Amino acid sequence: MQYTGNANKFIWYILIPMIFLLFVSFSLWDKNLADQYIRDGYSVFNKAQLAELKSVDGLILGGSNSATGLSADIMSKALDEQWYNLSLAGEGQSDENYWSFIKASASEEIREKVRTIVYSSATAISETKLKARHPNLIKSPRITLQYFIPARSFASYLKTYLLSDGNNSKSKLGDGEFGQNQCSKEKPAILAISQNINENELKLWLSSQLNVLRELFPNAEIFITLPSVNYSDDNIKRLEKHTAFLQESIFTLMENNDINVTLVTQPSYPSIDMLCNDGLHASSSGRVWRTNNLLESFSSIK
C-alpha cells in the first residue's frame, strides 16, 4: 500500500506537473521560435538559389498549399519565363513572419524585376487561420486556450529536423518535394469551409496583404488564387458566395489604389488521389493538375 501511495504522489506531484510544464514550454517555443528556425533556414536556401537565377519573372507565394500544390518548374516551362516558388509552410504562422521571410529571401533588386505574383493563401477560406494571421486587425484580440495549442505536433518537428536537412525538401526552383512516404495511403478528409468567417475581417486582411505586395513588388501584376480543395457540395455553394465577396472587395481596393489584382478561383480537385493527407494539400499528380489549371486561367486572362 505504501508503494501505491508513493507512486500516486509521484504521478500527481511530479510527473503530471512536469508533463504540463513541458507542454506549455513546447507550445510557447512553437509559437515564438520553432518556425523562425525553419523560416531562416529556407530564406538562406532561397536567397542562394535566387542569386543563381539573377532575375525572376514570376513568383509563387503562399503556404504549404502552394509549396506542394503549385509548381514554379511547370510555370517556367509553360510560359517560357523564369519562375520561383517562395511558399513557406503555414506562411510562417503570421503575416509579419511571412513578409520578413520574403524580404530575407529575395533582394529588392530581384523583387523590382518580378512581373507576376501568384499568391495562394488558405487564410482566405479559413476563419481559424484568418484570426491567427493578423490579430491586430481583429477587434479585442486576446489570448485564449487556442493560443496554447501548438500549430504543429512534436512528431512533425522531429520529422523536419531529424529526417531531412531542410534544403532537400525544396527543388532548385523552390517547389516543395514529396518524400517517398510523405503522403498517407488513407483517404483524406473533405475540408469544411468555415461558415462563420467574418467578411469585414477578411476584407481588412486582404487589404493589408495587397498593400504589402504592392510595396514589395512594385512592378508586378498580382493574382490572388483560392486554393483547390476537396469540397463537399454544401461547401461549394458557400464558396461561390465567398468568392463573390472577395471579388467585390478587390474591385473596391483597385478603385481606391494604384494596384492591378486578379482573383482566380481554382476548382475542387477532381480526384481524391490528387490529395496528400488532407483535403487542402496536393499529391504530386494533384500539383500537376492544379498548376495546369492555373495556366489555363492565365491563358484567358493575360
Q: What string of H, E and C letters represents the secondary structure of 111-155?
A: HHHCCEEEEECHHHHCHHHHHHHCHHHCCCCCCCHHHHCCCCCHH
Beta strand segments in 26-130, E: 58-62, 83-85, 116-120
Cα separation values, 254 from 45, 250, 280, Å? 35, 6, 29
CA atoms of 32 and 15, how far apart (whole Å): 26
Torsion-angle region of 94 (φ positive above 0: left; ψ -120 to 50: alpha; else: beta): beta
**What is the predicted pLDDT for the residue at 188?**
62
DSSP 218: T
Beta strand segments in the chain, E: 58-62, 83-85, 116-120, 221-226, 261-265
Return the CATH architecture of domain 2-301: 3-Layer(aba) Sandwich (3.40)
**What is the predicted pLDDT for the residue at 26?**
59
CA atoms of 255 and 92, how far apart (whole Å): 31
**What is the predicted pLDDT for the residue at 161?**
46
CA atoms of 296 and 172, how far apart (whole Å): 24
**What is the predicted pLDDT for the residue at 60?**
98
Q: At 292, phi and psi to the nearest 5?
A: -65, -35
**Burial track 5-23 (b if 16+ CB lie within 10 A, e otherwise):** eeeeeeeeeeeeeeeeeee
Query: Which three three-digit cell numbers place residue 278?
Result: 488532407
Query: Model's pTM, two decimal places?
Result: 0.78
**What is the predicted pLDDT for the residue at 228?**
85
State the virtual CA torsion across 255, 211, 219, 122 in degrees, nearest 10: -100
* Spatial CA neighbour of 104 closest among 62, 47, 51, 55: 47
Bridge pairing between strands 83-85 and 221-226: unpaired
DSSP 195: S
> Are the beta carbons of 238 and 193 closer than 8 angstroms?
yes
**What is the predicted pLDDT for the residue at 199?**
85
**What is the predicted pLDDT for the residue at 34?**
46
DSSP 176: B
User: Which residues of the chain have a pLDDT value below 70?
Assistant: 1-13, 15, 23-41, 134-168, 179-182, 184-196, 231-234, 302
pLDDT digits (tens, 9 = 90+) for 240-293: 788 888 899 898 888 877 788 999 988 888 888 888 877 788 989 999 999 999
